[in-house]
Amino acid sequence: MLPESVKVPKIALVDKVSLPARRTAVVVVDMQNDFAHPNGRLFAPAARDIIPRIAALLERARRSGVRVVYTQDTHYRDDPVEFPIWGEHVVKGSWGWQIVDELKPGEGDVVVEKMRYDAFFGTPLDHVLRMYGVQHLVVTGTVANICVLHTVASARLRLYDVVVPIDAIAALNEFDYAAALRQMDFLYRVTLTKTEGVEFI
């Protein structure tokens, strides 16, 4: 039996995080039209709100020489795993699969196509990050308790230092958002802050 009300445990939030630019990557998770555009198949309204903050963070990151990595959720027709759960979405090559115009990858950015929630599963992401000497990840994007959380978890299990600006991730509802933060803080010991608190040195 589920409790009628759940008290969210206190989440540790730090004011400022200083990261070495040459050993850091900003990861933008699944900011694609199907998730972050009002006409998308699985539109999450909160994903629109975080676009300006991610854009500002990316501008600072690129200016400091920080590597930028995008994950692009990618499915093929009749995906037997996710389509029964979510319906058809982000089919490779479709408009919904494209990253939103406001956050289009720039020259030199890395785009990793992934077929499951975890951006490390079945992709070259870990190899790419280690090839460039990346040890610190700043993870942004959507959806907080699904692809963001699974990617953050996988990164921590691979011993990356992970920072999540809590105002640059979005979920489908407040409960899912709070649950994701709780797992990141309590289980994976992620550093939680806000975008304005992330500094590249």
pLDDT tens digits along 54-108: 999 999 999 999 999 999 999 999 999 999 999 899 999 999 999 999 999 999 9
Q: What percent of the chain has pLDDT over 90?
A: 93
Specify the number of domains making up the chain: 1
Give a yes or no: residue 149 inside a domain. Answer: yes
Task: Assign residue 109 the CATH number of its domain.
Answer: 3.40.50.850
Look up 126 and say whether it is catalytic.
no
- Choose the catalytic residue: 34, 73, 114, 161: 114
54 and 140 Cβ atoms separated by less than 8 Å: yes
Give a yes or no: residue 23 inside a domain. Answer: yes
108: left (phi over 0), alpha (psi -120 to 50) or beta: left
**Residue 3: its pLDDT value, please?**
67
Give a yes or no: residue 6 inside a domain. Answer: no
Average of pLDDT values for 25-47? Answer: 96
Average of pLDDT values for 174-183? Answer: 95
Average of pLDDT values for 4-15? Answer: 85
Average of pLDDT values for 115-138? Answer: 98
Average of pLDDT values for 127-145? Answer: 98
The answer to whether residue 163 scores a pLDDT higher than 80 is yes
Give a yes or no: residue 46 inside a domain. Answer: yes
- Choose the catalytic residue: 34, 73, 118, 147: 147
**Residue 1: its pLDDT value, please?**
63
Give a yes or no: residue 162 inside a domain. Answer: yes
Q: Residue 148 belongs to what domain range?
A: 17-200
**Residue 9: its pLDDT value, please?**
83
Average of pLDDT values for 32-59? Answer: 96
**Residue 8: its pLDDT value, please?**
76
48 and 131 Cβ atoms separated by less than 8 Å: no
On average, the pLDDT of the chain sits at 96
Look up 114 and say whether it is catalytic.
yes
Which of 86-90, 96-100, 144-148, 187-191 is least confident?
86-90
Q: What percent of the chain has pLDDT over 70?
A: 99
Average of pLDDT values for 41-65? Answer: 96
Look up 15 and say whether it is catalytic.
no
10 Å CB burial of residue 201 (0-12, 13-18, 19+) is exposed
Give a yes or no: residue 110 inside a domain. Answer: yes
Strands of the chain (E only): list them: 17-19, 24-29, 67-73, 110-114, 136-142, 161-165, 169-170, 191-193, 198-200
Give a yes or no: residue 71 inside a domain. Answer: yes
The answer to whether residue 6 scores a pLDDT higher than 90 is no
